[in-house]
A and B are shown apart, each in its own frame.
Chain A
Amino acid sequence: MTTITVAPSGEVIYLDPGETVLGGLYKAGYAYTIGCRRGGCGICKVDLISGAVDYTVTVADTVLSPTERTTGTCLSCRAVPTEDVTIAMRGEELRLINPLLRSINERARQRAEALKASTAGVSTP
């Protein structure tokens, strides 16, 4: 399980395996400035404060430069976290537009955490 922590609020969002940052945030009921959702326009970039992301599909260098990749820019529609990440929005705040989705995501996160805790220390044969 990976999570996104959104600075500065500290909101934690649970991600399904392979899910993008944008996909996870929207699935948890949040909205922010996005454009093509296909890695072409670069409008949805956020700051990656900690953690690592992978780009599982090709992203054009003109949209996300090699320098940006290594200096904390996250193209949120294409970035798939490979571990827990902390991000910060650029020039705006994340807006909660669907509280129902937020509560569903929160329960999914709690279940995943409980599962992780219950299996911790149990060795597999």
Chain B
Amino acid sequence: MGIMRMGYAHVRVTDLEQAKHHYANTMGLYETLNQDGKVYYKGWDEWDHHSVVIEEGGVGVVKFGFKVEKAEDIDVIEAKAKTFGVTTERMSAGENPEVSDGLRIFTPSEHVLEVYHAQTLIGVETGTHNPEAFPRHLVGIGVPALDHALILAEDVRLMERMFVELFGYFPTERVQTDLNDDDAHFIASWLTNNNQIHQIAVLEGEQGKLHHFAFKLGDWNDVGRAAEIMVMDDVPIDIGPTRHGITRGQTVYFFDPAGNRNEVFAGGYPAYPDRPLTKWTPDALGRGIFYHAREMNERFTTVYT
């Protein structure tokens, strides 16, 4: 089936100890490895070795991992990348600890995407044999899993086409200046290849930058509780709890100790490739981004790492 999901987000942090406190004690991720100045984490409902990597030095995103189902899928994506015209290189097993060989893609937006087919299996925290509903001693928010990321790019139309052609994604929602695609300038696009409303989104902005990466939560109650844990831990909240008009997801935006934006995200309607694309025009973008406030805060387009 090709790409299955965004498997990991690898980000830079200015202070590793503070970041560890945030990702372990506030987010409630499980540390799986601490090696060479990098710390690796997984959520309780993830089975692969890691979904978040933090590395000391700077801010922003180092790279994202995308997991494919079969090793052969990588050859297919490599061929499509060549046709599309992006730079790639093969990566070896072990270049990333506990991650298989794969393909590294240098996108037109100056991001690095690593496509891999295997990670060391650790298993979900509840096990697979007559499991309980959740681990009873979760820490902090206790996020179950990584969900998606929003990246910035100068050319959103080009990036959408790249994800469509290389990863077999389809856009579920888009912000564009005109409802006619041919006349429109694309401002943002939300993309997936399964029922998850988006695995990656691209917003017009500075090349190579991270807007946010998001963790999955169950519902409104979880989002509200997450915000309250953030208050207890003095985590700066950017906005929320609120709803996105786009995706209909429920959200809190907040910042890690290095200033990278995180999100907790719940809901979102199921995506299908045959569902007509939802289009937003800039006049309604405020409602699209923050459904209740109906206006964008000044940080949405200006604050990123």
* A positions within 8 Å CB-CB of B: 33, 35-41, 43, 57-63
Residue of A nearest to B57 (CB): A60
Contact A36 B58 (CB under 8 A): no
27 A-B contacts, Cβ less than 8 Å apart? A33-B298, A35-B259, A35-B299, A35-B303, A36-B259, A36-B260, A36-B305, A37-B236, A37-B259, A38-B255, A38-B257, A39-B59, A39-B259, A40-B14, A40-B59, A40-B255, A40-B258, A40-B259, A40-B260, A41-B302, A43-B299, A57-B14, A58-B15, A60-B12, A60-B59, A62-B58, A62-B60
Q: Say yes or no: is B261 at the interface (Cβ < 8 Å to chain A).
A: yes
Contact A59 B303 (CB under 8 A): no
**In angstroms, how far is the closest chain B Cβ from the Cβ of A7?**
23
Q: Say yes or no: is B256 at the interface (Cβ < 8 Å to chain A).
A: yes
* B positions within 8 Å CB-CB of A: 12, 14-15, 18, 57-60, 236, 238, 255-261, 298-299, 302-305
Q: Given A58-B14, A61-B58, check contact A36 B255 (CB 8 Å).
A: yes
Complex CA–CA separation, A57 to B13 (angstroms):
12
User: Which applies to chain A's interface (DSSP): helix, strand, loop or mixed?
Assistant: loop
Residue of B nearest to A57 (CB): B15
**In angstroms, how far is the closest chain A Cβ from the Cβ of B55?**
12
Complex CA–CA separation, A57 to B18 (angstroms):
10
- Which residues of chain A are within 8 angstroms of B60 by Cβ–Cβ distance? 62
Q: Given A57-B15, A59-B14, check contact A38 B259 (CB 8 Å).
A: yes
**In angstroms, how far is the closest chain A Cβ from the Cβ of B72?**
39
- Which residues of chain B are within 8 angstroms of A60 by Cβ–Cβ distance? 12, 14, 57-59, 258
Instruction: Tell me which of A41, A59, A61 has the highest count of chain B C-beta atoms within 10 A of its own C-beta.
Output: A41
- Which residues of chain B are within 8 angstroms of A40 by Cβ–Cβ distance? 14, 59, 255, 258-260, 305
Contact B15 A36 (CB under 8 A): no
**In angstroms, how far is the closest chain A Cβ from the Cβ of B51?**
21
- Which residues of chain B are within 8 angstroms of A61 by Cβ–Cβ distance? 58
Residue of A nearest to B14 (CB): A58
Contact A38 B299 (CB under 8 A): no
Complex CA–CA separation, A43 to B301 (angstroms):
11
Contact B304 A41 (CB under 8 A): yes
Instruction: Tell me which of A40, A43, A60, A62 has the highest count of chain B C-beta atoms within 10 A of its own C-beta.
Output: A40
- Which residues of chain A are within 8 angstroms of B305 by Cβ–Cβ distance? 36, 40-41
Residue of B nearest to A41 (CB): B303
Complex CA–CA separation, A57 to B16 (angstroms):
11
Residue of A nearest to B303 (CB): A35
Residue of B nearest to A36 (CB): B259
Instruction: Tell me which of B57, B58, B259 has the highest count of chain A C-beta atoms within 10 A of its own C-beta.
Output: B259
Starting from the known contacts A35-B259, A57-B14, A60-B258, 13 additional A-B residue pairs (CB-CB under 8 Å) come to A35-B299, A35-B302, A36-B255, A36-B303, A37-B255, A37-B259, A38-B258, A40-B258, A40-B260, A43-B299, A58-B15, A60-B58, A63-B259
